[in-house]
């Protein structure tokens, strides 16, 4: 199970303030479990773990098996929570380098408005066996809808059976994709109406692409189930402590929370975390701004600012107890790089030392930080981390006095954009 170390925040916090925030987090936790707070009709992400639907998991696996056997490429079309969770898990749980024929290549579209990207993607798909999973509750969100128009035309012009290759993941009954699915005979998976996009990775939204990448979705899902059960009690609950510490740091005048990873494959998980916390907390002029760093790479870019810049930062390190980095460092006869002092040690040992040194240096430089430790990078551990952050951000939102499950500000840019596009 996950382990939270918050010692490097304590010198920056008044003990009485932290105690008050912990008490508040316990109350927010009870509110969440009782479905008594704002947005309680959007907490189905927790319900699906309390009562798992194994038949649905089986159907997802069967469809993924078909895709694996017949497709070279699965194009996942979606934006926001309709792609970030799947991309995060796939990046975390697939090898850095693997033979392209092992499983279908998973590519993403509809998550921006680059015509160049879409044009080059269509060229790339030529001559390959392609399946498409289009993911949208409404079916009318601009970015994925435009991408789907072009990619659907490619399938219709290329295959005799395009309807078999298109799978929609959408609202149970409403929206454009339901109409299109009924007319064309596309297969359909449902997005539960009580699950918002950024909380949807453990629904078919994320599970189908993840399973198609060859990842054990049952272990992923039941890792989240285990975390849901473990975090149902307020006593010794690290998700509540995480929310309480962040709330106290915000009250202390900080404005940014930097999630820093030392394993590159977790960078995409950080981007999922960024959306989860940004859309859930950033309302009514409050909330910590979530940002992501990949260390040690970014210690050679923004590291100077983190160490010595404006003291507006808090930091969360996402670390792995067993990162698999057991490659032993060889000795060198000439020792021209002067590194024989670490010969015989593992890369994992060096990476851990880098984390320990960075967390200490940043704390000494005025950056309070805490470390969330995963047992390893496995489907079970990633599932646990997904639920941990979903639970923590819900509690954190209630502590801030906002509805953590809506995103009214997202509509502002759309209104201005559509007015310039001449939308009727």
Active site residue 279: yes
List the beta bridge partners of residue 380.
none
The C-alpha atoms of residue 288 and residue 188 are separated, in whole angstroms, by 37
CB 269 within 8 A of CB 382: yes
- Helix (H) or strand (E) segment spanning residue 74: strand 73-77
Active site residue 300: yes
Angle in degrees, CA 21, 22, 27, rounded to 5? 95
DSSP 104: P
**Which stretches of 282-378 are DSSP H helices?**
303-308, 347-364
List the beta bridge partners of residue 5.
371
Among residues 203, 186, 207, the alpha carbon closest in space to that of 194 is found at: 203
CB 409 within 8 A of CB 280: no
CB 171 within 8 A of CB 138: yes
The C-alpha atoms of residue 192 and residue 124 are separated, in whole angstroms, by 33
Which residues contact residue 285 at a Cβ distance below 8 angstroms, ignoring those fewer than 6 apart? none
List the beta bridge partners of residue 189.
169
Tokens representing 267 are 């960078």
Which residue is catalytic, options 143, 190, 263, 279?
279
Classify each residue of 235-274 as buried b or exposed e, where b means 16 or more C-beta atoms within 10 Å of its C-beta.
Answer: eebbbbbbbbbbbbbbeeebebbbbbbbbebbbbbbbbbb
Residue 80: left (phi > 0), alpha (psi -120 to 50), or beta? left
Which residue is catalytic, options 183, 300, 411, 415?
300
Which residue is catalytic, options 112, 119, 345, 414?
414
Q: In angstroms, how far is the first alpha carbon of the chain from the final one?
A: 52
Burial of 28 (0-12, 13-18, 19+ CB in 10 A): buried
Burial of 25 (0-12, 13-18, 19+ CB in 10 A): buried
Strand extents, DSSP E, 219-312: 256-261, 289-294
Which residues are marked as active site? 279, 300, 414
């Amino acid at each position: 199970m996950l382990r939270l170390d918050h010692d490097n925040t304590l010198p920056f916090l008044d003990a009485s303030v932290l105690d008050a925030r912990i008490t508040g987090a316990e109350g927010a936790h009870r509110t969440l479990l009782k479905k008594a707070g704002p947005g309680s009709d959007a907490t189905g992400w927790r319900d699906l773990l309390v009562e798992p639907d194994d038949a649905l998991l089986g159907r997802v696996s069967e469809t993924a098996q078909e895709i694996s056997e017949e497709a070279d490429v699965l194009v996942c079309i979606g934006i926001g929570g309709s792609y970030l969770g799947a991309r995060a898990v796939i990046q975390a749980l697939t090898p850095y380098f693997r033979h392209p024929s092992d499983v279908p290549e998973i590519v993403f579209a509809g998550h921006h408005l680059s015509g160049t990207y879409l044009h080059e993607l269509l060229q790339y798909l030529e001559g390959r066996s392609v399946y498409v999973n289009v993911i949208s509750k409404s079916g009318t969100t601009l970015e994925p809808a435009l991408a789907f128009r072009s990619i659907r035309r490619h399938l219709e012009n290329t295959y005799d059976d395009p309807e078999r290759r298109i799978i929609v993941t959408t609202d149970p009954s409403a929206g454009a994709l339901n109409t299109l699915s009924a007319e064309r005979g596309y297969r359909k998976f449902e997005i539960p109406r009580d699950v918002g996009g950024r909380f949807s990775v453990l629904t078919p939204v994320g599970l189908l692409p993840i399973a198609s990448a060859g990842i054990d979705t049952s272990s992923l899902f039941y890792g989240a189930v285990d975390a849901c059960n473990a975090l149902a009690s307020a006593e010794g609950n690290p998700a509540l402590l995480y929310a309480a510490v962040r709330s106290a740091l915000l009250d202390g005048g900080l404005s940014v929370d930097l999630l820093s990873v030392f394993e590159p494959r977790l960078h995409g998980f950080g981007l999922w975390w960024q959306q989860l916390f940004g859309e859930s907390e950033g309302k009514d002029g409050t909330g910590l701004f979530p940002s992501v760093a990949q260390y040690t790479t970014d210690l050679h870019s923004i590291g100077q600012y983190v160490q010595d810049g404006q003291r507006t930062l808090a930091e969360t390190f996402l670390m792995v107890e067993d990162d698999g980095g057991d490659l032993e460092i060889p000795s060198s006869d000439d020792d021209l790089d002067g590194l024989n002092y670490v010969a015989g040690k593992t890369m994992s040992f060096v990476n851990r030392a880098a984390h320990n040194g960075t967390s200490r240096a940043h704390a000494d430089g005025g950056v309070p930080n805490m470390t969330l430790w995963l047992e390893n990078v496995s489907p079970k551990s990633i599932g646990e981390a997904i639920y941990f952050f979903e639970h923590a951000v819900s509690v954190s939102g209630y502590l801030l006095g906002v509805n953590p499950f809506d995103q009214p500000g997202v509509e502002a840019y759309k209104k201005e954009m559509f007015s310039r596009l001449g939308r009727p």
